[in-house]
């Protein structure tokens, strides 16, 4: 399937629904534009600087409905780089400033809570260099055993780290949290048979492999209460393998999502590289569309929205200008509820404002005809 073509010259892309309100528990958003989490390595020593606060504030004051921060680490053994932010200790004063500046311009913001597991570089720019990284079974992305499996105490400590971080987010006034459970990081490593060979309650069947994520969500829910929004980011692909499949059918996806939904996930953020591609045969629904249908929970779609070329594209026919018309049609049909924008907002903090105000010629990385707007 190729990328969406531009709309016919007699049509226009109505973006009004994208700028309609959305509410879910502690999230009370003026519109449905979400800034996707994107790591920047601009937090020396893991501490967000005033520049980081300004970076998020500029997007919030220019009509981004919800900011999801770059991944921020919950555990020192889960860090991928010491210049990426962490969510404990003396870093919290920096995060307090971030939340205050975003709220000061009427924005909403959630931190993405992250533990990279086996993806932590043992000899990189991290704490405790030389110590093996943690993962369900000590298996890296190549299928090699490079460390001991996480002990019961390690598992309990990791669950507690996520819950503690979520509690700190609520104390600082954040509007919810997002769990990074995608792309081959710790929670996702428990989900995947490649990484998870455990024989305890966290390994075996797909439902059992979901139990670490379930326990993380339950621990967070006990910490933050029932009214604090929990978003979970999930994906089929993982780092180093864009063709990886966590599930192969709607039935498998439903069996995977249901216990997570029942545990307390409020919104599923479904990471895909191209939002317009169908996920399973026999339906045009993408991953977010299936998540919403199977759980009856709100879903966020993401993947190539607002860009002219697909980053790391392998399929040239699937790259290039994209009309927002098909995206708006899917949103109007209720296939998903929120739309996350990554690289377009990374390069242009005014992207959402320009879109809402019809300033199409000013959109970086956009061409006017991509919106189906008459010239």
Q: Which residues are identified as catalytic?
A: 185
* Bridge partners of residue 72, in order along the sequence: 113
Q: How many CB atoms lie within 10 A of CB 325?
A: 22
Q: 97 vs 93, 172, 210, CA distance in Å?
A: 6, 9, 35
Q: What are phi and psi of 258, to 5 degrees?
A: -55, -50
Smallest CA-to-CA distance from 191 within 172, 206, 180 is with 206
CB-based contact 289:250 (threshold 8 Å): no
């Amino acid at each position: 399937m190729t990328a969406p073509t531009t709309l016919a010259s007699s049509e226009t892309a109505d973006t009004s629904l994208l700028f309609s309100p959305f509410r879910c528990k502690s999230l009370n958003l003026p519109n449905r534009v979400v800034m996707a989490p994107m790591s920047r390595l601009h937090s020396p020593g893991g501490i967000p600087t005033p520049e980081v606060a300004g970076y998020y504030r500029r997007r919030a004051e220019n009509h981004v409905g919800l900011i999801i921060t770059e991944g921020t680490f919950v555990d020192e053994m889960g860090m991928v780089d010491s210049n990426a932010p962490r969510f404990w200790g003396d870093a919290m004063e920096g995060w307090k400033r971030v939340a205050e500046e975003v709220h000061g311009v009427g924005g909403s913001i959630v931190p993405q809570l992250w533990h990279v597991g086996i993806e932590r570089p043992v000899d990189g720019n991290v704490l405790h260099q030389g110590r093996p990284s943690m993962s369900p079974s000590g298996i890296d992305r190549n299928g090699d055993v490079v460390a001991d499996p996480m002990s019961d105490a390690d598992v309990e400590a990791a669950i507690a780290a996520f819950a503690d971080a979520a509690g700190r987010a609520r104390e600082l006034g954040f509007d919810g949290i997002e769990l990074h459970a995608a792309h081959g990081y710790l929670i996702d490593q428990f989900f995947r048979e490649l990484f998870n060979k455990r024989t305890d309650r966290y390994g075996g069947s797909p439902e059992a492999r979901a139990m670490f994520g379930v326990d993380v969500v339950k621990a967070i829910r006990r910490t933050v209460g029932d009214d604090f929004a929990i978003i979970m980011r999930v994906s089929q692909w993982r780092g180093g393998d864009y063709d990886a499949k966590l599930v192969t059918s709607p039935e498998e996806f439903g069996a995977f999502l249901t216990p997570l939904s029942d545990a307390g996930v409020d919104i599923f953020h479904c990471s895909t590289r191209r939002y317009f591609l169908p996920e399973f045969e026999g339906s045009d629904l993408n991953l977010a569309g299936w998540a919403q249908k199977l759980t009856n929970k709100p879903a966020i779609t993401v993947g190539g929205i607002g860009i002219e070329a697909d980053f790391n594209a392998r399929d040239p026919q699937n790259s290039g200008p994209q009309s927002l018309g098909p995206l708006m049609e899917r949103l109007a049909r209720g296939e998903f509820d929120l739309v996350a924008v990554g690289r377009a907002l990374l390069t242009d903090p005014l992207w959402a404002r320009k879109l809402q105000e019809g300033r199409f010629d000013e959109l970086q990385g956009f061409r006017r005809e991509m919106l189906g707007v008459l010239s």
